[in-house]
Amino acid sequence: MKQWLTLSLLNILSFIPIILVFLILLLANVKGFGEFKTNSEFTTLGLTVSVISKILIILPICILCNKNVLVMHKVIGTVCLLHVIFFGIQYLLVYTVGFYPDPLNLIVGKEQRYIAGMTLPLIGEVYRPTGMYYEPSTYATYMLILVATRMCLVNQLNRIDIIVLLSTIFSFSAAAIVYSSLALFIGLMSKEKLRQNIRIMIPLFLLLVPVIYWYFVGRLDMGHREFGSLRLGLIVITFTQSQFEILFGNGLMGIPTQIDDMKFFGGLAQFEVAAINDAGLWLFNIIKFGIVGLILVLISQKLIISSVRPFLFVLTIYLTKASLFDATLIFCFLIPYFIRMKMLKNVQIENITYDSNVNS
């Protein structure tokens, strides 16, 4: 009991640096440091409640797992498996009988964006299953973050992780095809199992290349050229701000003034500009905290995640549509947090191997 209480206290203390950083950034925003703004949809109270609620969600999970890395690895793996099973059911039904089970439409009355509006050779009409999420890129974002957390815990991918990443590729989200393929490549490039992984990667490559080629050609033929132009518009706005805003951002509760004006005068799409998280978490960080802030975040992650491969794997998250102000924040906390758990000297992790303890 005494040891459990000690570990629980360490769990709570582990969040103090995160809370302090948040409070400093929030204070800087409130006091109007530099060119920090308060023109986003968040209020000071709303943002504070949002962050605290997410920490309160994480904390019981960490305490219950009692710093047992393998337990958390298996729990996240089970969550991933449930998502993939439902994704597979959607895939099977929509391509065989044309029926698409849509849980969001049933619960909140909002239809998932699974119709691609294009055809491919041999496949015919293309559908983009979204799992439990609104669109395929959102499904891919959350699944990649879950797999990245597992990767950080045990420093390798297993069968579940590979299946999850393949499902995000076959969601036919254009962005997911890129970053999930990159994540899969990084995850499988293990010196210990290089030959075995090459045998997996070559057939996958041969299978995916023609499908991806047809898909991107089909998107262009169907008029999806705006895929890049909207994001390019956001990038241009971000890097044509003042020098201070480029280096230090607009603050936790700020967005570029030009984007704020566009929202007021009809919306971003009308001006051919993407939402601030659509071009990737890397640009979202620059908008909020500037280039300096992004560099500091990356340095902090590298100090915590010392192994090269898990760190490179986590970097692929910066290509996704993840936002620091939605539920994704939970896993942005979890990745470095559980690495911290592994580094604590009073926690012994024995016999972590691919074939036995980490095969699920």
Q: Which has more confidence, 342 or 130?
A: 130
CA distances 132 to 58, 82, 113, 140, Å, are 21, 10, 11, 11
Q: Does pLDDT of 248 surpass 90?
A: yes
Q: Does pLDDT of 81 surpass 90?
A: yes
pLDDT above 90: percentage of residues in the chain: 19
What is the structure's pLDDT at 202? 67
Average pLDDT over residues 120-126: 71
Q: Give the whole-angstrom CA distance, residue 49 versus residue 44.
A: 9
Q: 299: pLDDT confidence band, cut at 50, 70 and 90?
A: confident
Q: Give the whole-angstrom CA distance, residue 146 versus residue 79.
A: 9
Domain for residue 250, yes or no?
yes
Round the average pLDDT of the chain to a whole number and report it.
78
Q: Are 87 and 94 in contact (CB under 8 A)?
A: no
Q: Give the whole-angstrom CA distance, residue 142 versus residue 208.
A: 22
Q: Are 71 and 65 in contact (CB under 8 A)?
A: yes
Identify the residue whose tokens are 């699944």.
143
What is the structure's pLDDT at 43? 79
What is the structure's pLDDT at 351? 38
Domain for residue 138, yes or no?
yes
pTM of the model: 0.83
Domain for residue 148, yes or no?
yes
Q: Give the whole-angstrom CA distance, residue 224 versus residue 207.
A: 24
Highest mean pLDDT out of 17-21, 85-89, 107-111, 208-212? 85-89
How many domains would you assign to the chain? 1
pLDDT above 70: percentage of residues in the chain: 71
Q: Does pLDDT of 357 surpass 90?
A: no
Q: Does pLDDT of 324 surpass 90?
A: no
Domain for residue 46, yes or no?
yes
Domain for residue 360, yes or no?
no
Read off φ and ψ for residue 120, nearest 5 degrees. -130, 150
Instruction: Give, in degrees to the nearest 5, the angle at Cα 302 between 296 and 308.
Output: 145
Alpha helices in the chain (DSSP H): 2-14, 16-30, 44-65, 69-96, 103-108, 136-154, 159-169, 174-188, 194-221, 226-238, 243-248, 257-264, 281-304, 308-315, 328-343
Domain hosting residue 25, numbered range: 2-343
Domain for residue 357, yes or no?
no
What is the structure's pLDDT at 101? 92
Domain for residue 354, yes or no?
no
Residue 48 neighbours by CB under 8 Å, 6+ apart? 26
pLDDT 10s digits, 36-58: 888 877 778 888 888 788 777 77
Q: What's the gap between Cα 58 and its chain centre?
A: 17
Are β-strands 124-127 and 115-120 bridged in parallel, bridged antiparallel, or unpaired?
antiparallel
Q: 225: pLDDT confidence band, cut at 50, 70 and 90?
A: very low
Domain for residue 348, yes or no?
no
Structure tokens at 271: 């001006």
